[in-house]
Structure formats: C-alpha cells, structure tokens
C-alpha cells in the first residue's frame, strides 16, 4: 500500500528522522516506479537533508514523469536558487557535530534553516540553542516566528512575550503577539499590545493600526475600529486587511451595501484573503444569492483546500 509508506515518510520527516523517511520514500518508488509523487517525496526529504544534488535529481525525475507537477517545479527552482545557502548550512551542521553545545552556532544554524523554509529543523536548532544557555531576545523572536509557521500559537506567544521581556523596545514581537492574540480571540490583550507598539518608533504603522482595528472590533468598539482601519488605509492604500476590517464593521452595523463594497475592494487587492472570502459568502447568503455564495466558496476552497474556515463555509452552505 504505497500511501502508507508515503504518509509514514512524511511523519518521519516532520520528526527529523530522515534516514527512516528516506527508506520509506525509496519503498514508495519501488512500489510505483512511474509515480512522480514518489520522486517528489524523496526530493523533499533530500532537500531537508541538505543534499541539493540528490534533491534536484529527484525533482527533475518527477517533472519528467509529469511535466505539470507544480510542487516539484517550485522546489526545483528554490533549491537551485539557494544552492550556496545549502553549502553554508552543511558547513554549520558539520561544525555542530563537533561542537554540539555551542548555543550561538545552533542559533545561527536555526536562523539559516528558517530562511530556506526548513521550519521543523529550525525550531529544533533554536530550541537546542536555548537549552544550551544561549538565551537572547533575538533568539526568542526567531523561535516565535518559526512556531508561527508551524501553527503552534501557544508556543509562539510564549516566545514573543519572552522576547518583549528581554527587549521591550523592539516592535516586531509586539506586532506578532498582537496578531496571535487577535486570532485566539483575546482582543483586549491584543489592543493593549498594539497600543504599546504604537507608542514606540516603528516603520509599519499601517499594519499596527489594522491589527488594533481588529482588536477593537473584537470587543465591540466599532467607532474606534473604523478609525483605526481608516488610518491604516491613509498610511497604505490598497491594504486588504484594513479594507475587510471596514467591511466587517459595516456588516455588524447592518450596512450591507457598504460591507459588500469594502469586501470587493479587499478581494481585488488580495483575492486569497480568507476573511474577505468568508464575509463575501455571508453577504451573498444575506441577500439570498446562494448561487454566488456557493460559487465563491467552491472556487476559494479549490485553491486553498486545507483551510478549515473555507471547509466549514462549504459544509454550512451544503447543509
């Protein structure tokens, strides 16, 4: 059953057990030598092993078997563009083999891994640096950002709080923490975090204002939310997050036409923005236009089938 070998290879890879993952990928290829996904799988594992030569060979084989294999083509380009980085990463890995307790080296290695998208290994390296005693605000921030990519919100929030505690004047951890608090529904805490950030020197006031607007909207301060979103758009025109924020404010006030107008503007600026897609479906349902609602939801789900919000919207429409 090739699917079982395939999925176990993925599990081993997520855990960092790359030799076992490679063995399972080889079994997938043995069972289906003409299946391009087997070579794509092995290429991804070789990529994580920092073996760019083997990864390129596997991705090219997958594309030869199936020229439209988007995943293989994308990773092939990435590996080719980053070959010099893989060489640096191999050197760092070799140094860590002889200096396993070098926290600074583990930290640098983790940062480089995050840059090439190897987030699981980045977290492991950064946690190893922390365990060895190398604890700085920058490490906490890097660790928080790596946890965000893994959807590990609790660990990410803890890391950003530690980063803020170590360096309360750096805005980036505040912005990340505020966003995570909004996503978790802790809107009052998020508003406090964004207001603290806005009181410091910063380069991206528009994003902070938009995050503050979302927090105010969550606690029902719609006038304050509207003001924050409008200020964000004054600073950065065509900011989809602020536009959908104004759409949500209008929607909650019962101004369906204004909500629809802002929602369409948001989708024009970012067609994949999930919050705008969900709101546009809700508005279409409110207007008894189920066909438009269904078409919007189906099209969005086709391009982002792993998003639980879009899956729920489809289920609700079907029900």
Q: How confident is residue 202, by pLDDT bands cut at 50, 70 and 90?
A: confident
The pLDDT, as a whole number, for residue 239 is: 94
| pLDDT digit string, tens, across residues 133-181 | 999 999 999 999 999 999 899 999 999 999 999 999 999 999 999 999 9
Lookup result for tokens 């897609």: 277
Q: Cβ(10)–Cβ(33) under 8 Å?
A: no
- Interatomic CA distance for residues 299 and 188, integer angstroms: 35
The pLDDT, as a whole number, for residue 46 is: 97
On the question of pLDDT at 319 being above 90, the answer is no
| pLDDT digit string, tens, across residues 169-184 | 999 999 999 999 999 9
Q: What percent of the chain has pLDDT over 90?
A: 79
On the question of pLDDT at 305 being above 80, the answer is no
3-state SS assignment for residue 203: coil
Element (H, E) at 292: helix 290-303
Higher pLDDT pick, 290 / 63: 63
Residue 271: count other Cβ atoms within 10 Å of its Cβ: 13
Q: Who's near 187: CB < 8 A, 6+ residues apart?
A: 181, 214, 215, 216, 217, 218, 219
Locate 196 and state its tokens: 């603290």
* Short-list 151, 153, 127, 152, CA closest to 140: 127
| 3-state DSSP of 106-138 | HHHHHHHHHHCCCHHHHHHHHHHHHHCCCCCHH
């Amino acid at each position: 059953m090739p699917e079982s070998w395939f999925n176990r290879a993925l599990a081993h890879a997520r855990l960092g057990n790359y030799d076992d993952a490679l063995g399972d990928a080889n079994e997938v290829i043995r069972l289906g030598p003409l299946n391009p996904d087997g070579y794509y799988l092995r290429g991804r594992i070789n990529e994580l092993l920092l073996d760019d030569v083997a990864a390129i060979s596997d991705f090219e084989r997958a594309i030869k078997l199936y020229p439209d294999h988007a995943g293989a083509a994308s990773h092939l380009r990435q590996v080719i563009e980053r070959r010099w980085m893989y060489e640096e990463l191999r050197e760092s890995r070799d140094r860590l083999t002889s200096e396993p307790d070098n926290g600074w080296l583990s930290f640098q290695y983790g940062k480089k891994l995050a840059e090439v998208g190897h987030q699981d290994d980045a977290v492991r390296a950064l946690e190893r640096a922390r365990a060895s005693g190398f604890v700085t605000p920058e490490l906490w921030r890097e660790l928080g950002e790596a946890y965000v990519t893994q959807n590990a919100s609790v660990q990410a929030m803890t890391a950003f709080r530690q980063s803020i505690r170590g360096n309360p004047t750096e805005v980036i951890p505040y912005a990340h923490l505020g966003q995570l608090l909004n996503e978790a529904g802790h809107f009052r805490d998020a508003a406090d975090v964004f207001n603290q950030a806005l009181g410091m020197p910063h380069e991206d006031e528009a994003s902070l204002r938009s995050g503050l607007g979302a927090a105010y909207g969550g606690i029902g301060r719609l006038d304050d939310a509207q003001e924050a979103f409008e200020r964000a758009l004054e600073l950065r025109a065509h900011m989809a997050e602020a536009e959908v924020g104004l759409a949500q404010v209008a929607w909650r006030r019962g101004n369906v036409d204004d909500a629809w107008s802002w929602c369409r503007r948001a989708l024009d600026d970012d067609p994949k923005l999930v919050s705008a897609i969900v709101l546009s479906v809700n508005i279409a349902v409110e207007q008894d236009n189920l066909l438009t609602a269904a078409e919007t939801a189906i099209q969005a789900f086709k391009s982002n089938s792993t998003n639980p919000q879009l899956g729920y919207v489809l289920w609700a429409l079907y029900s």
